[in-house]
Amino acid sequence: MAPKHVPTNPKSPQASEDLRGNGDELQQQAGGSHPQLTTNQGIPVADNQNSLKAGPRGPTLLEDFILREKITHFDHERIPERIVHARGSGAHGYFELTHSLAGYTRARVLTEVGVKTPVFTRFSTVAGGAGSVDTPRDVRGFAVKFYTEEGNWDLVGNNIPVFFIQDAMKFPDLVHAVKMEPDRAFPQAASAHDTFWDFISLTPESTHMIMWAMSDRTLPRSLRMIEGFGVHSYRLLDEAGNSTFVKFHWRPELGVQSTVWDEAMKLQAADNDFHRRDLFEAIAAGDFPAWKLCVQLFTEEEAESFPFDHLDPTKIIPEDLVPLQEIGRMVLDRWPDNFFQDTEQVAFCPANIPPGIDFSNDPLLQGRLFSYLDTQLIRLGGPNFHQIPVNAPRCPFANHQRDGYMQMANPGGRVNYEPSSLQDGTPRASQRAGFPSFAERADDAGKGRVRPASFADHYTQARQFFLSLEAPEQAHLASALVFELSKVETLAVRERMVGNLRHVHEELARRVTDGLGLPALPPPPEVAVPAQDMPPAPEVRIIGRMKQTLQGRCIGILIDDGSDAATIKAVRKAAEKDGAQVRIVAPKVGGATLSDGSHLPADGQLAGTPSVLFDAVAIVLDPAAGKQLAKESAAVDFAAFAWAHLKAIAADAGAAPLLKAANVGKDAGVVEAAAVKDFIAAARTRQWAREPKLRTLA
């Protein structure tokens, strides 16, 4: 049975009128007069919000020429750089299954325990170009290519479990809105501008994703510390063709960790390649990044009882409703020999799945099945991009597709068709071994450009997300909204967005209103389904779920001539024992002569190695050096930013003048350098209690 707060039958086949989103309605909302929207052939468009489907919850139809023209044009707008996910880093590795799903699927990659399947994984930002920075506030792509024995499987997702839109018809509009504004070509890799928030404020289905995008999830500490999500529901098919729905989750073994906003901005100046360098150096050091693959499995009947529609990509399935099951482990252990050859040329497509996995009718997924292949055709120069080594299957493959640009593997013989009788050994289809599609009953509601009523609730899970966060995370989210909307020049857009937030949580809307200096709370728009209260989902938090270890983290030790050798040795030993990397920072890259007469080389020069690059810092200085560095702005910033970014600081008596010059206060995260155990304990987390003393948050 569905919980009592379900507003209506969530699986009613009747389309929700508010979700038809026709041009007349949008024009009325946005105001002003607008010409008729048409295709490139001049054909008037009646509905630019919904793709043509076989019934409200049915699959998208190939005959939808408006969708195909729109997405084809979008796919070909940029060459050769990716339109989205252009800034990426990737690595080779393997996936090992630890728990078989043989009861649910015939896909051998998910049934044969202990088999190591090669993978290539690419992480990316979404909005920026290939030359943008690693650390903006942005969603991260998380795409894995499994080279299975039954063909390539591309699990193409993000580090956020939901998406901005419910239908692929809206994807070009979303990306056009968030990209650089076309008349001025800025801002780069940023959503804090008018066109993005104009679109979002007029697209209430984006509200849940905006909660995630404005949270600390989009400011990751490292690519090694992000979760990955397949986003959509897929199907698993067993040998008999029975179906079980599945959602895929990647959980990092290092735990999830973020930066804070001011730190992320300073990282852009300190190291444009911070995440790429971090991934490269970890693999080079043998600290191979690893993730656990988990699944949520549920039946059609169980899905009918959910208080939301699992085919809606703007919704999560809370883990208290369907728990995660761990089934395998992915390890990345080899950086590409040539970045362009692999990381830039790799081509992912969600349509690449082995027998035993199948698609759902999620309308965003249905559009992606078309869009990705179309994109690769223009970006990689033609239909033979699958012959590039990083894209080629590792199992035998053969068909009758010949010629085309860059054909390197044409088979011989006169037969390039089927059926045929003129040549032995030509590829033939096999009903027994071939890819099966789930025999789903067709929706008899008729085709149309509609969305089901079950997609109409845009605010319940957005409210659940906000209320599930810890207090500092809520403050960060509210402050992010204030920052972004403060960059919006159009007052009406700001007010419309804050009005939408009132449906999420009245207090959140009030905090953003105050932060923007609006004279009063803007009125909320009318909605089809008001937000309901759901139990908290603690899995969406970061605070409280961070792994209490220094494994995968980095400690910076600031030294100068005369620094105490024993203290440096003790801090370094304890940090490395707890799994951290240690970097020595000195005014000169040559290092410093320590108190015992030994010389310690530096890993970085002070002026170019700020504390934003580290998870915690130790400052070990001779008194004379401490007085001198208190007059050096780079040293003052080193201490001040560590304090401002809530990091643990270990300091000896010689560092006292520097701490004073940097206005470093006293709390549990500032310890004597000799108290090594206390420093290590404090360094494993952020000092959240410090933040209200340092900055004004919404």
* Residue 240 token pair: 């008999």
Mean pLDDT by 10 residues, the chain (698 residues): 38 46 57 80 86 93 89 78 95 98 97 98 97 97 97 97 98 97 96 98 98 98 98 97 97 97 96 98 98 98 97 98 98 97 96 94 96 92 91 91 85 88 89 87 84 96 98 98 98 98 98 98 96 97 91 97 98 97 98 98 98 98 98 98 98 98 98 97 96 95
Q: How far is CA 38 from CA 35, 41, 46, 67, 380, in A?
A: 9, 7, 9, 12, 30
* Residue 364 token pair: 């965003």
Residues 6+ apart with CB under 8 A from 76: 374, 375, 378
Q: Report how far residue 29's alpha carbon sits from residue 359's, in angstroms, rounded to the nearest whole number.
A: 35
User: 88-97 and 592-593: which strand pairing?
Assistant: unpaired
* Cα–chain center distance at 450: 29
Amino acid type, 125: T
- The model's pTM is 0.92
Task: Please state the CATH superfamily assignment of the domain spanning residues 17-387 in this structure.
Answer: Catalase core domain (2.40.180.10)
Give the CATH fold of the 554-693 domain: Rossmann fold (3.40.50)
Q: How far is CA 43 from CA 46, 74, 114, 498, in A?
A: 10, 18, 56, 36
Residues 6+ apart with CB under 8 A from 695: 262, 644
Residues 631, 604: contact at Cβ < 8 Å? Answer: no
> What residues are labeled active site?
85, 158
Question: Residue 30's pLDDT is what?
Answer: 66
Helix axes 194-201, 491-504, angle to 10 degrees: 40
Residues 599, 591: contact at Cβ < 8 Å? Answer: yes
Give me the phi and psi of 473, to 5 degrees please. -70, -40
Establish how many alpha carbons lie within 13 A of residue 373's alpha carbon, considering only the half-sphere containing its beta carbon: 11
Give me the DSSP letters along 166-232.
Answer: SSGGGHHHHHHHHS-BTTTTB-TT---SHHHHHHHHT-GGGHHHHHHHTSGGGSBS-GGG--EE--S
Count CB neighbours of 73 within 10 A. 12
Q: What is the 3-state secondary structure (H, E, C) of 12-67?
A: CCCECHHHCCCHHHHHHHHCCCCCCCECCCCCECCCCCCCCECCCCCCECCCCHHH
Long-range contacts of 317-324 (CB under 8 A, 24+ apart): 317/247, 318/464, 318/534, 318/535, 318/537, 318/539, 319/537, 319/539, 320/535, 320/537, 322/247, 322/296, 322/297, 322/298, 323/296, 324/249, 324/251, 324/294, 324/295, 324/296
Question: Residue 335's pLDDT is what?
Answer: 98
Q: Report how far residue 37's alpha carbon sits from residue 693's, in angstroms, rounded to the nearest whole number.
A: 52
Which of the four CATH numbers 3.40.50.720, 3.40.47.10, 1.10.10.410, 1.20.1370.20 does domain 456-540 have?
1.20.1370.20
Q: Report how far residue 196's alpha carbon sits from residue 585's, in angstroms, rounded to the nearest whole number.
A: 41
Amino acid type, 137: R
Question: Residue 279's pLDDT is what?
Answer: 98
Residues 445, 13: contact at Cβ < 8 Å? Answer: yes
Establish how many alpha carbons lie within 13 A of residue 268's alpha carbon, considering only the half-sphere containing its beta carbon: 15
Question: Residue 12's pLDDT is what?
Answer: 46
State the virtual CA torsion across 594, 597, 600, 601 in degrees, nearest 10: 110
- Bridge partners (DSSP) of residue 160 are none
Span 1-60, pLDDT tens digits: 333 333 334 444 455 444 444 555 555 666 677 888 887 888 888 898 899 999 999 999
Which ranges in the chain are annotated with CATH 3.40.50.880? 554-693
Which ranges in the chain are annotated with CATH 2.40.180.10? 17-387
Cα-based angle 690, 695, 697 (whole degrees, multiple of 5): 105
Question: Is residue 451 annotated as involved in ligand binding?
Answer: no
Residues 286, 321: contact at Cβ < 8 Å? Answer: no
Give me the phi and psi of 126, to 5 degrees please. -100, -50
Residues 54, 62: contact at Cβ < 8 Å? Answer: no
Closest-CA residue to 584 (of 620, 549, 551): 620
Q: Report how far residue 381's alpha carbon sits from residue 347's, in angstroms, rounded to the nearest whole number.
A: 12
Question: Residue 13's pLDDT is what?
Answer: 45
* Cα–chain center distance at 523: 32
Q: Report how far residue 584's alpha carbon sits from residue 606's, in angstroms, rounded to the nearest whole number.
A: 9
Residues 6+ apart with CB under 8 A from 572: 557, 582
* Residue 98 token pair: 């630890």
Question: Is residue 379 annotated as involved in ligand binding?
Answer: yes
- Bridge partners (DSSP) of residue 311 are none
* Cα–chain center distance at 433: 35
Which ranges in the chain are annotated with CATH 1.20.1370.20? 456-540
Question: Residue 27's pLDDT is what?
Answer: 56
Question: Residue 425's pLDDT is what?
Answer: 87
- Bridge partners (DSSP) of residue 589 are none
Establish how many alpha carbons lie within 13 A of residue 269's alpha carbon, considering only the half-sphere containing its beta carbon: 9
Question: Is residue 171 annotated as involved in ligand binding?
Answer: yes
